[in-house]
Amino acid sequence: MSNEEPTFAALLSGLRERQSLSQGALARLARCTRPYIGQLERGERQRPSERLARQLADALHLQGQDRLAFLVAAGCAPLAPETPLNVEEPVLNRYARALVKGSVYPGVLHDSQWSVLYANAAAYGLFRELGDPLVPGESLLGQVFSPHYRSRIPDWEAWARAMLAQFKRDGAHLSGAAERQQLLTRLRALPDFARLWKNVEAAGDPTPTMPIEFVLPDLGPFRLEVIRLTFVGLPELWHVSFLPADEGARRLLQRLHPQQLQPDW
């Protein structure tokens, strides 16, 4: 048996197939072309640019030593931010939780299934106000299609389509995973999910900000700005914050948190 390290072509092909991604799907996630992926996997192109190598590593959701080995095979000199010294992933997750906990704005950490990993007190309060409390471990996509939640959104179907497009993009690498299929089975029981799932394509790029309008009986209509962030080195971890976009939203968030919010959002 050979002890030689696999070529970059074999490594890329193996990682892609292990995640049940087609060449086209990987190309969309890495923001390149399907023929280029094919050339890399056939060895017709020996190495991608450093920028593309890192985009491929992000698209394949590689972390830790797996990410380092991939970048080295691609011919990239590893940078310090890719492999933090003496900092294990659980520590980075604690840093992320501390960041969300310390925010006056509602914040949620979720994975590529949009499963709630952590939420601050303001987020739990916000979702209670909207009629469907957050449940740790459950997917935020369930909130999007919840009858209680959707009744608060005037233009619900447009919002649901936008959320589905992002959800499909975020979790494209999980398309063959059993937990993905189990989640979709549960979601198909919710009104309109099956219809929209068939008719919405995955977003081409992650959307960093999205406005949404709600209506509550005691406040009337108000708008929030949804901010989506990811963490360097933790591609499975997303931070979503809800910032006030008008005076009604500002009053609601002030009710949820005693600290005065900035008046000029």
Query: 89-256: which CATH number, 2.40.50.100, 3.40.640.10, 2.30.30.90, 3.30.450.180?
Result: 3.30.450.180
Across the range 6-15, mean pLDDT stands at: 90
pTM for this predicted structure: 0.69
Taking the C-alpha atoms of residue 130 and residue 252, their distance in angstroms, rounded to an integer, is: 11
Q: Which two tokens stand for residue 130?
A: 């909207």
**Which pLDDT tens digit goes with each residue over 70-103?**
888 888 755 444 444 344 556 778 888 999 998 8
Residue spans per domain, the chain:
8-82, 89-256
CATH number of 8-82: 1.10.260.40
Tens digits of per-residue pLDDT, 115-132? 999 999 899 989 888 888
61 contacts 235 by C-beta, under 8 angstroms: yes
State yes or no: pLDDT of 200 exceeds 60: yes
